[in-house]
Structure 1
Amino acid sequence: MLSYVSDIHNCNVLELPKNHNPAGNLTVIQNGLHLPFDVKRVYYLYDVPGGSDRGGHAHKGLHQLIVAASGSFDVVLDDGKQKKIIQLNRPNFGLMVIPGIWRELVNFSSGAICLVLASEKYSEDDYIREYSEFEKWKSLK
């Protein structure tokens, strides 16, 4: 089990390895080498209409690495006390989001692709989908 303090200051941008080649760059992410968790699920968001937001939830136990595989978008992080906005716009950088952080994805550029590597398989029980429930959950921690 990973140890962490659930606040926005423990959500950091990681530089991922970039193998440059004139024919195109390559970034590889390996369990046990580049992430503090083993990847158990991968998903990506694409064709997000301009002006739309995604996310709007928190996780109780899930760790994620969020990458702008193409284009750009902003991630709004909220730990119940403080907020910060991280712009993702380079495919060799990823944002580590720890459990207990409310996140929203906003300002998608045209053609943006949001790639997410997750520490656990999907479980609806891990989600907190209402901000008022998030506040209650945080007050118990």
Structure 2
Amino acid sequence: MKYVDLEAITLKDIPKIIAEDGRGNLSVVEKELLPYEIKRVYYLYDVPSDSIRGGHAHKELQQFLIAVSGSFSVVLDNGKERKTFLLNRPNKGLLIPSGVWRELENFSAGAVCLSLVSQEYDEDDYIRDYTDFKSIERS
């Protein structure tokens, strides 16, 4: 698995179209925004504020997270360092490459996390034990 520099991971802007007549805003995720074709979409909601979601890494899958409502924190870990991102705007997203441990925490009331991923579900792609994740050699 390749080494991922967490400093290279940043929030990405999602185009925002503002309705001039006051009807609200529209944001669009099109194929040019992501480096992969979306193969699966799911969302987390009604997550208690003291819960932690994620707690795994992927060998191949890439993931784009959006807080479509409310807020939550995403803690990324490359095996050597950790970096925390606050997602709290529906026109910002976080692209998580493969090979990065992720934990989602501090969900606000009513938070909804939308996940756009590069692969269909495959249990063999998951690394669910942090000790195993830390022991994987990275080039």
TM-score (norm 1): 0.92
1:10–1:98 CA contact under 8 A, matched in 2:
no
Distance between the aligned counterparts of 2:3 and 2:13, measured in 1?
Answer: 21
Partner of 1:6: 4
Partner of 2:97: 98
2:67–2:111 CA contact under 8 A, matched in 1:
yes
RMSD: 1.3
Partner of 1:74: 73
Matches within 5 A, 1:35-114: 35-114=34-113
> Which 4+ residue blocks in structure 1 deviate beyond 6 angstroms?
none
Q: Confirm or deny that 1:27 pairs with 2:33.
A: no
Structure 1 unaligned blocks of 5 or more: none
Shift of 1:8: 1.6
1:57–1:131 CA contact under 8 A, matched in 2:
yes
Distance between the aligned counterparts of 1:92 and 1:136, measured in 2?
Answer: 36
1:75–1:103 CA contact under 8 A, matched in 2:
yes
Shift of 1:49: 1.0
Higher-strand-fraction structure: 2
TM-score (norm 2): 0.93
* SS, match of residue 103 in structure 1: strand
Structure 2 unaligned blocks of 5 or more: none
Shift of 1:7: 2.8
Aligned residues: 136
2:36–2:118 CA contact under 8 A, matched in 1:
yes
